[in-house]
Amino acid sequence: MSSDISRRQFLVTAGSALTAIAFPYSAFSISRTTIQISLEAAPGKVNIGGETDRLTDVLQYNNSTPGPVIRVPQDSLVSIPFGNQLNQPTTIHWHGVRIDNKMDGVPNLTQETIEPGETFTYRFIPPDAGTFWYHSHDKTWDQMARGLYGVLIVEEKDPIAVDQDIIMVVDDWLLNNDYQIDETSLGSLHDWSHGGRLGNFLTINGQPQPQFNVKKGERIRLRLLNAANSRIMPLKISGTMATTIAIDGQPVTPSPLKDSHMLLAPAQRVDLILDMMQNPGESVDIEYRTNKGDIKIASLLSHPTIVLREFPLTSSITLPPNPLPQRIPLGDAEHFELEMIGGAMGGMKGAIHDNEWKDIRSLMRKKLIWAMNGIAGIASKPFFRVKRGTSVTIELNNQNRWPHAMHIHGHHFRSIDDQGLMNPIWRDTILIRGAEKRRIAFVADNPGKWLIHCHMIEHAAAGMTAWFEVT
């Protein structure tokens, strides 16, 4: 099977049963809105492969692929009773939310797994407005590949002036000739030691090449998420004005999209403002760039007759700031290094696992082929422990030839360049190239036990997962 993205196109109906009730709630003596949304994970079927008579067996939240878009107000009390109707344990992680540690969804670190038939209620107050997402965090390499993910939108207090809010979740699915999830490759050590398990069907919101209806002159907020297990998505949107306003959920100084290109590593998000310039009946395409040419993955089709504005808006939109730390005082920061080794052709001789040094052969029997600071897989001791409020820098030292999308739970961070300058962009996931070193900094202000792992989920499962503690 080739992992080339298929050019086939089909339509899919994704039904979503989402109920939200809002009522006033008073917590910590200020009044908060409480939002309650029920989620349920269960097996389902969806048309990813494009043949209407050949549905793919997937796992879903609320019978929907992706799961329902959850929209909640910033600073509200969000309560999500979650029922596990799968035949295996699971948990949910709220990616990018600077969340209360107990609700972070990491099995055996922040909570016990939710067994089949059980319910667990996730309760949290999202401090930041922006584009986040949620996904399974147990056997993630399998459950997320089968569709257990969705978008979480935290609304700004004052809505920004756009005509439409469009969400595009990009994913690649690896399907076999029967249009079923290719199971022989799930857990394949070959994929785990290379670039991860890459798919052969590219979808947006679970659909091949969907079309979105827009109007000339319309101002659109486009939220893009890469929900693939491991594929880095080089995307292109041309033919219209595009301005980046947020990255990984956090506002940035608005800037025009350079060369119409975006590179989204697994788990990364970008929010754009699009001012639709195309004439009635014309469309703008979102493309996936390959060296054999660009592949259309979605299009924005201008209404054939209705024009909203003859001349698109040119004013810029700046999102209100989120309550991130004002500064990261590096003067008294604690410094750590995370050395990443392993993978195919990585020459790793062995690593510590279960508190014991093991050679590469015995590690491979446990499907471990990567190590961070000489440890493969989650250790009993943290990578580091710091007091709440400590500034931390981490040198992400990639000593192998593979790119990695490093993600930190519960915090956003900034990168520091070779000159020691801090990048103004806050991220929760950063792409580190083969043999590259990057320094990141953050204030460890969220108490608890937090993961730091590669979001190429096969790499995380094969050893690239560590944790730190904020006391």
Q: What is the C-alpha to C-alpha distance for residues 380 and 137, in angstroms, rounded to an integer?
A: 19
User: Which residue's Cβ lies closest to ligand C2O?
Assistant: 95
Tell me which residue of 211, 235, 224, 166 sits closest to 5, measured CA to CA: 235
Q: What is the C-alpha to C-alpha distance for residues 305 and 286, in angstroms, rounded to an integer?
A: 23
Q: What is the C-alpha to C-alpha distance for residues 283 and 276, in angstroms, rounded to an integer?
A: 9
Return residues touching Cu ion (CB under 5 A).
404, 454, 456, 459
Any contact of residue 405 with ligand C2O (CB under 6 A)? no
CB of 269 to ligand C2O, least distance (A): 11
Q: Under rule CB under 6 A, which residues in 20-59 are in contact with ligand C2O?
A: none
CB of 95 to ligand C2O, least distance (A): 4
Q: How many CB atoms lie within 10 A of CB 117?
A: 10
Dihedral angle computed from the Cα positions of residues 274, 252, 78 and 30, in that order, rounded to the nearest 10 degrees: -120
**Residue labelled with tokens 């320094």:** 439
Q: Considering only the stretches 153-161, 173-181, 311-319, 450-458, report the one whose residues sit in contact with ligand C2O under the rule CB under 6 A.
A: 450-458
Q: Which of 451, 454, 462, 464 binds ligand C2O (CB under 6 A)?
A: 451
CB of 363 to ligand C2O, least distance (A): 22
Tell me which residue of 286, 269, 132, 156 sits closest to 209, measured CA to CA: 286
267/284 with CB nearer ligand C2O: 267
CB of 127 to ligand C2O, least distance (A): 18
Q: Considering only the stretches 20-28, 298-306, 311-319, 448-456, report the one whose residues sit in contact with ligand C2O under the rule CB under 6 A.
A: 448-456
204/405 with CB nearer ligand C2O: 405
Q: In a 10 Å sphere around its CB, with 0-12 CB exposed, 13-18 middle and 19+ buried, how is residue 94 labelled?
A: buried
Q: How far is CA 263 from CA 139, 224, 258, 423, in A?
A: 26, 11, 11, 17
214/369 with CB nearer Cu ion: 369
* Phi–psi pair at 193, nearest 5 degrees: -90, -10
117/434 with CB nearer Cu ion: 434
Any contact of residue 236 with ligand C2O (CB under 6 A)? no
Among Cu ion, ligand C2O, none, the one that 407 touches (CB under a kind-dependent 5 to 8 A) is: ligand C2O
**Residue labelled with tokens 């948990």:** 91
Q: In what order do the strands lie in the sheet with 390-398?
A: 370-372, 334-342, 390-398, 437-444, 414-416
Any contact of residue 407 with ligand C2O (CB under 6 A)? yes
Q: How many residues bind ligand C2O (CB under 6 A)?
A: 10
Binding mask 70-99 for ligand C2O (x = CB under 6 A): -----------------------x-x----
300/396 with CB nearer Cu ion: 396
User: Does residue 438 sit in helix, strand or coil?
Assistant: strand
216/411 with CB nearer ligand C2O: 411
Any contact of residue 219 with ligand C2O (CB under 6 A)? no
Q: In what order do the strands lie in the sheet with 404-408?
A: 385-386, 465-470, 448-454, 404-408, 429-432
CB of 231 to ligand C2O, least distance (A): 15
Contact 155, 72 (CB under 8 A): yes
CB-facing half-sphere around the CA of 467: CA atoms within 13 A: 21
CB of 88 to ligand C2O, least distance (A): 18
CB of 268 to ligand C2O, least distance (A): 10
Any contact of residue 135 with ligand C2O (CB under 6 A)? yes
Q: What is the C-alpha to C-alpha distance for residues 144 and 378, in angstroms, rounded to an integer?
A: 20
Among ligand C2O, Cu ion, none, the one that 267 touches (CB under a kind-dependent 5 to 8 A) is: ligand C2O
137/139 with CB nearer ligand C2O: 137
Q: Running DSSP on this structure, what letter comes out for residue 458? A: H
Q: Under rule CB under 6 A, which residues in 259-278 are in contact with ligand C2O?
A: 267
Q: Considering only the stretches 244-252, 311-319, 437-445, 449-457, report the one whose residues sit in contact with ligand C2O under the rule CB under 6 A.
A: 449-457
Q: Would you tell me which residues interact with ligand C2O (CB under 6 A)?
A: 93, 95, 135, 137, 267, 407, 409, 451, 453, 455
